[in-house]
Amino acid sequence: MTTDELITSEPAEPPEPYRPVKADRGPGLWLRRLTGVDERILDWVPEERPRYTRQGAIVLNAGLLAALSMYVVLSELSGALIAVPGAMLFGLVILSFQSWMSSAARGRVPAARSTGLLPQLLLSLLLGWVVAEPLLLWVFQPSLHAEVALQREAQDETYVARLRACNPIDGSLNKDAQCGSYYLPVATSLPVLQESVRAAAAQRDAIQRQVAGMSQTDPDVAQMRDQLTAQNKILADLDAKRVAEAASYADRISIEIRERLDDRRASRPRIGVLEEEAALGRLAGASPFVLTMQWLLRSLLILLYALPVLTKLLEGVTTYDRLHRRQLQLAARLQELRESQRERRELARTQVEIADREYRERRDHEQLEEKDRMARAQHEADLNEQIEALADRLAASSKPQVSVRSS
């Protein structure tokens, strides 16, 4: 290459600096912001960006799990109009809390970092348990609702059995103390009819005994037989009425029980969290498989929620942590130097003010002393003038007397 070509050629562009690298403005920036990292430090260690991007995704997952858990709870208590905003608000609160915990241990020494993370881990596990329980019930919801339906059916059968026991179809009164609220307002004449049937049967038996004790040649035997026939007819009519009333009373009792049962089912609330929890306990107690799956799923959900803290415990102190701690120390030293400089500046200013105040005080004192000295001098001068004037007057008054004596 000739000299002319070297002169006319364009200068080469300077290479980009190795560190810091250009700032990242991609979608991972929003995830890293959830972990509280300083992007200016990550520009010096860009190798740490993927780590904290994934940590931000973990924090976001914890917030989404919390929002889903709250939606499951609120959707069972109210409609979507309350469940959706309530779940979003709860998810935002948990997301902020997880973001704080993710950034709380940065800048600490390793020993203090581990000590500070343990309470955070315990708190995360506790909150994870609260968040995981509604999700666990949601996963087992079909089986739980079937179990609750069977439990309610058994309770209804017990209720119906108690109603039937406290309201016998023979019309008698059950005096059991537990039947206070189980009596049905169904009136019946069955006890009266039963008593009438018993009385008619007793009267018929008495007539039969009279007829059996009479001789066939007795003139009253035919009349007694007619009375027996009439009494049997009366007894048959009363027994027919008793049977009809018993059937009618049994039907009215069944109708009243059915209405009571329908009212009980209509007033029964929707299957709630407490019933689902109790049903899950019954299923887990009856099936070791359900018990094992329940605890495996619950543990998985709790660990997913506590994963932001667990990742910090597992990864230890990173390069970013060391740089961040160094920057905090530098900021603290700079602040101390600035505070020291400001302290010296304020001290010097205060000393100047004190010296100026003392100077003004001395000057004022000297001026006062000068004024006092001048006043005393003026007073002495005035006094001397008065003395001299008085002496002149005395001298003037004594001259004529001297001349008279001389004459």
Q: Which residue matches tokens 């973001």?
A: 99
Nearest residue to 102 (alpha-carbon basis) of 64, 67, 52, 61: 52
Share in percent of the chain as helix, strand, coil (round to 5): 80, 0, 20
- Quick one: tokens of 198? 């018993």
- Helix axis angle, 80-104 to 49-77, nearest 10°: 150
**Is there a contact between 303 and 124 (Cβ–Cβ < 8 Å)?**
no
User: How far is Cα 273 from Cα 72, in angstroms, rounded to an integer?
Assistant: 10
pLDDT exceeds cutoff 50 at 404: no
- Quick one: tokens of 249? 């009373």
Q: What is the reported pLDDT for 328? A: 83
Nearest residue to 90 (alpha-carbon basis) of 61, 72, 66, 59: 66
Q: pTM for this structure?
A: 0.61
pLDDT exceeds cutoff 90 at 88: yes
Q: What is the reported pLDDT for 60? A: 92
pLDDT exceeds cutoff 50 at 138: yes
Higher-confidence position of 80 and 382: 382
Q: How confident is the model at residue 251 (pLDDT cuts 50, 70, 90)?
A: confident
Q: How far is CA 312 from CA 94, 116, 129, in A?
A: 18, 11, 20
Which string of DSSP letters, residue by residue, matches 141-186?
HHHHHHHHHHHHHHHHHHHHHHHHHHS-TT------GGGTTT----
Summarize the confidence of residues 236-260 as an average pLDDT.
86
Summarize the confidence of residues 264-284 as an average pLDDT.
88
User: How far is Cα 373 from Cα 308, in angstroms, rounded to an integer?
Assistant: 86
pLDDT exceeds cutoff 70 at 17: no
Q: What is the reported pLDDT for 292? A: 92
Q: What is the reported pLDDT for 105? A: 65
Whether cis (ω within 30° of 0) applies to the bond prior to 142 is no
pLDDT exceeds cutoff 80 at 325: yes
Q: What is the reported pLDDT for 312? A: 79
Q: What is the reported pLDDT for 227? A: 80
For residue range 359-391, list pLDDT tens digits in order.
Answer: 999 899 889 988 888 988 888 888 888 888 888
Q: What is the reported pLDDT for 405? A: 47
Count CA atoms within 13 Å of residue 180 on its CB side: 2
pLDDT exceeds cutoff 50 at 6: no
User: How far is Cα 330 from Cα 324, in angstroms, rounded to an integer?
Assistant: 10
Q: What is the reported pLDDT for 406? A: 46
Q: What is the reported pLDDT for 400? A: 58
Q: What is the reported pLDDT for 110? A: 59
Q: How confident is the model at residue 296 (pLDDT cuts 50, 70, 90)?
A: very high
- Quick one: tokens of 299? 């543990």
Higher-confidence position of 221 and 76: 76
Higher-confidence position of 403 and 198: 198
